[in-house]
Amino acid sequence: MRHLTLHEIETISQIRSETNKKNLDNISRTDAYFSYFKRNPDVIWSFLASMVSRNGGWNMCDLEGDVFREILEPKTRKDLFLTFERANWLIFHDVYPQLLIYQYSTKRNTPMFHLLPYFKCSEFIQKEWERYWKESNRERLTTALIINEQNVIHGPVIQHPVYKKRVFDSWIFTFQDWLHFSCVLFPTCGGELYGASVNGFKSLSKRINLGKRLARILTHPRLFPFFFEFADKTPHTGSRNDYEQFFKTKTSRRTPLLRATYPIIDHNHYQYDDWSKNRMISPAWLHIPARHRHSIHLTDWYYEKSNQMELMLAIHRAANLKKI
């Protein structure tokens, strides 16, 4: 690391402070990503992160909604919430300084990526930012950020012994995975839903592939303006009502508001390891384009899954009545 100027030291301190302030909860992260994208529209990943973060908020609030509150024990719901929260916190902790350093570079009209090591960013993503500065390949940067962030959470969350035992090897997670409830949705103000689902969430390559598919949907020339309109006009609360309010057919499912449901979590920092020094980077991650094997229009799919959830709840209630 080279000798820093006083201005650079102050900049590092400011970036740390802003990152900590915006990394408060799912709402603040979602808003920070989207605000950043509006200031830096070439960084498509930031809009993608905002839309995926919205889904994270809905998933969290679903745990305290009508269905899961009856089906799952409080401890299981808490474990699932803390897993979502930890993964989202870690990603933001890693990536937001990168985004701010890029913004700082554009303002000064000179690359400032030599500051990235002070935030313990992987060597892989440091090289990718430098490459982007020279080549301006937006698609490659988006893919590189997807690769980096999924690797960032792979060890500390997906493979962590506690999360693995309590969440990723649990029956409810396997059940969700199998039924494709693990789905990322992009709504429109016209009441339509687009997106993609993943089964095999524990697989690093499958999560990266999902991210690439989602980026492709989000940047579709015809659909992008509708997704942007929704994000710009709809405050993120964590409740599914954020997008169900636009549906032509009203649903009976109800989910609460995130900030009325969950406390602010004080995260412990973790033992940092540069994943790119310990893990092979698959050429497929960067060079094989994402392909959709299923329809990206998911409005009807969503209604069907909602009906399945109601059926699952009815079966659960009937089984409990028999025990009485």
Instruction: Say how many C-beta atoms besides its own lie within 10 A of residue 56's C-beta.
Output: 21
Per DSSP, helices labelled H in the chain are 6-22, 26-39, 44-62, 66-71, 74-108, 123-135, 138-153, 161-163, 171-179, 204-218, 224-233, 241-244, 275-278, 283-287, 299-323
Among 270, 191, 189, 264, CA closest to 230: 189
Number of folded domains that form the chain: 1
Higher pLDDT, 152 or 302: 152
**Token pair for residue 321?**
């009545």
> Exposed, middle or buried: residue 234 (CB in 10 Å: 0-12, 13-18, 19+)?
middle
Alpha-carbon distance of 230 to 34, in angstroms, equals 12
Residue 150 domain-assigned (yes or no): yes
pLDDT at residue 70, rounded to an integer: 87
Question: Does 1 score more than 70 pLDDT?
Answer: no
pLDDT at residue 251, rounded to an integer: 72
Residue 67 domain-assigned (yes or no): yes
Residue 1 domain-assigned (yes or no): no
Question: Does 178 score more than 70 pLDDT?
Answer: no
In terms of residue numbers, what domain contains 287? Answer: 6-323
> What mean pLDDT comes out for the span 282-310?
88
> What mean pLDDT comes out for the span 118-137?
97
Alpha-carbon distance of 286 to 140, in angstroms, equals 7
Measured in whole angstroms, how far is the alpha carbon of residue 147 from the centre of its chain? Answer: 13
Residue 217 domain-assigned (yes or no): yes
Q: With cut-offs at 50, 70 and 90, classify the pLDDT of residue 181.
A: low
Question: Does 180 score more than 70 pLDDT?
Answer: no
pTM of the model: 0.94
Residue 238 domain-assigned (yes or no): yes
- Ranking 5-19, 47-61, 305-319 by mean pLDDT, the lowest is 305-319
Question: Does 179 score more than 60 pLDDT?
Answer: no
List phi, psi (to 5°) of 193. Answer: -125, 135
User: Hey, CA dihedral for 310, 313, 319, 324, is it positive or negative?
Assistant: negative
Residue 172 domain-assigned (yes or no): yes
pLDDT at residue 226, rounded to an integer: 98
pLDDT at residue 177, rounded to an integer: 59
Residue 23 domain-assigned (yes or no): yes
Q: With cut-offs at 50, 70 and 90, classify the pLDDT of residue 321.
A: low
Contact of 34 with 50, CB cutoff 8 Å: yes
Helix (H, G, I), strand (E, B) or coil at 186: strand
